[in-house]
């Protein structure tokens, strides 16, 4: 995907100008446009084609709303409003459309971020596969937390168990008997609380490519090394078991209700305690730190104490997972 963007899209899009501090070529979770000495508008957009559309813990509608809210939240912004663009294939089940729309509304209400505008199109049979949802949103930030914000010595924190969403989708597709539920949830209230503590340097939601992809983007963008310990990464027994059977690394599969944070060492324990006292961060953990060595790379300490590079997924990510 990155190769496609760099070869076929980026050469034709400037992506910066005026007051744009972070644009499309930074590949962050959103763009940042300065509007005053200490405020930014953060803007993001995403399209969703998950299959199956309904699964334990959520559906494509909840995914679309929470995903866009989380992209804003991990940029250090307080989400303010959303748009909804829906493209529907002719003949798509009306009852399913109503369920998806209801889910979108409930998730927006849960996060207290309104859907204020939108567009709906119907296309011919076979022109798309069922339904596609695009959601865009904007928020206001007084302190950005970009992918490039890490410094040597910063601690790496994850807000909870890793791999829940991706393993839910895969298990459902494979008719694998499992109690795993997707972690889809808006994170804006959690990020708002940790931002109050200060010391937050960078945040990322580990969606496509999972924790491995997110950490590598942070290491590369910040020009630091990242060292993490496998045993410190929270993974539920159900996800771990299913992953072993299906041959999938939980660190390389999508999450939709988790955040990865880079925090100043002096603030790390305070931020961790705040997260653990919030319903969305009860299983948060410090999993590693930023280092001078291995700039732009992520080093994983394994369960037996050896070390290896944790690279982003090499193969094509599992399609239609988010």
- Each domain of the chain, given as residue ranges in start order, spans 2-141, 147-309
Q: Would you say 63 and 50 are in contact if contact means Cβ atoms under 8 Å apart? A: yes
For the segment 292-298, the average pLDDT, to the nearest whole number, is 97
In angstroms, how far is the first alpha carbon of the chain from the final one?
A: 15
Q: Which two tokens stand for residue 143?
A: 């302190």
The model's confidence at residue 114, banded by pLDDT at 50, 70 and 90, is very high
Per DSSP (E only), the strands in the chain are 20-22, 31-36, 39-48, 54-55, 58-59, 78-89, 115-123, 131-141, 155-158, 200-204, 225-229, 260-263, 285-291, 298-301, 307-309
- The H helix count followed by the E strand count for the chain is 8, 15
The model's confidence at residue 315, banded by pLDDT at 50, 70 and 90, is low
For the segment 237-264, the average pLDDT, to the nearest whole number, is 94
Q: Would you say 183 and 160 are in contact if contact means Cβ atoms under 8 Å apart? A: yes
The answer to whether residue 150 scores a pLDDT higher than 90 is yes
Cβ neighbours, 10 Å, residue 232:
13
What does the DSSP 8-state code read for residue 251? G
Q: What pLDDT was estimated at residue 318?
A: 65
The answer to whether residue 312 scores a pLDDT higher than 80 is yes
Secondary structure element (H or E) that encloses residue 305, with its range? none
Task: Reduce the secondary structure of 85-97 to three states and give it as a string.
Answer: EEEEECCCCHHHH
**Topology (CATH level 3) of domain 147-309:** Phosphoribosyl-aminoimidazole Synthetase; Chain A, domain 2 (3.90.650)
Assign domain 2-141 to its CATH architecture. 2-Layer Sandwich (3.30)
The answer to whether residue 42 scores a pLDDT higher than 70 is yes
% the chain with pLDDT above 90: 84
Backbone phi, psi, residue 257, to 5° = -145, 30
Calpha distance 44→12 (Å, rounded): 19
Cβ neighbours, 10 Å, residue 203:
29
Cβ neighbours, 10 Å, residue 167:
30
The answer to whether residue 71 scores a pLDDT higher than 70 is yes
The answer to whether residue 17 scores a pLDDT higher than 80 is no
CA 201 to chain CA centroid, nearest Å: 17
Q: What pLDDT was estimated at residue 139?
A: 98
Q: Would you say 285 and 158 are in contact if contact means Cβ atoms under 8 Å apart? A: yes
For the segment 142-158, the average pLDDT, to the nearest whole number, is 97
| DSSP helix/strand/coil, 258 | coil
DSSP string over 103-117: HHHHHHHHHT--EEE
Report the range out of 11-25, 162-176, 195-209 with the highest average pLDDT: 195-209
Q: What pLDDT was estimated at residue 299?
A: 98
The answer to whether residue 317 scores a pLDDT higher than 60 is no
The answer to whether residue 316 scores a pLDDT higher than 70 is no
Q: What pLDDT was estimated at residue 21?
A: 87
Q: Which residues contact 18 (CB under 8 A, 6 or more apart)?
A: 33
The model's confidence at residue 15, banded by pLDDT at 50, 70 and 90, is confident
* CA-wise closest residue to 70 among 207, 201, 180, 202: 207
Q: What pLDDT was estimated at residue 320?
A: 67
For the segment 164-179, the average pLDDT, to the nearest whole number, is 88
Q: Which residue has the tokens 């070869």?
A: 7
Predicted TM-score of the model (pTM): 0.95
Average pLDDT, the chain: 94
């Amino acid at each position: 995907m990155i190769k496609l963007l760099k070869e076929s899209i980026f050469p034709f899009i400037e992506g910066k100008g005026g007051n744009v501090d972070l644009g499309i070529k930074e590949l962050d979770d959103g763009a940042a446009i300065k509007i005053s000495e200490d405020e930014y508008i953060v803007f993001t957009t995403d399209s969703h084609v998950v299959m199956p559309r309904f699964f334990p813990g959520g559906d494509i509608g909840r995914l679309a709303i929470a995903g866009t809210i989380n992209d804003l939240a991990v940029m250090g912004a307080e989400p303010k409003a959303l748009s909804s663009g829906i493209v529907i294939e002719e003949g798509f089940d009306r009852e399913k459309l109503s369920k998806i729309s209801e889910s979108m509304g409930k998730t927006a209400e849960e996060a207290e971020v309104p859907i204020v505008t939108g567009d709906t199109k119907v296309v011919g049979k076979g022109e798309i596969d069922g339904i596609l949802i695009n959601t865009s949103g904007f928020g206001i930030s007084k302190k950005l937390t970009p992918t490039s914000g890490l410094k040597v010595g910063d601690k790496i924190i994850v807000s909870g168990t890793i791999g829940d969403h991706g393993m839910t989708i895969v298990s459902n597709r494979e008719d694998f008997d499992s109690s795993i539920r997707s972690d889809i949830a808006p994170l804006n209230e959690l990020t708002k609380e940790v931002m109050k503590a200060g010391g937050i340097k960078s945040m990322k939601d580990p969606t496509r490519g999972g924790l491995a992809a997110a950490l590598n983007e942070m290491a590369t963008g910040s020009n630091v090394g990242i060292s993490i310990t496998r045993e410190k990464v929270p993974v539920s027994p159900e996800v771990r078991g299913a992953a072993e059977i299906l041959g999938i690394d939980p660190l390389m599969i999508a999450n939709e209700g988790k955040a990865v944070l880079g925090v100043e060492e002096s603030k790390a324990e305070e931020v961790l305690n705040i997260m653990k006292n919030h319903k969305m961060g009860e299983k948060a953990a410090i999993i590693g730190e930023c280092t001078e060595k291995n700039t732009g790379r992520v080093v994983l300490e394994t369960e037996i104490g050896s070390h290896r590079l944790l690279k982003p997924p090499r193969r094509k990510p599992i399609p239609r997972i988010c």
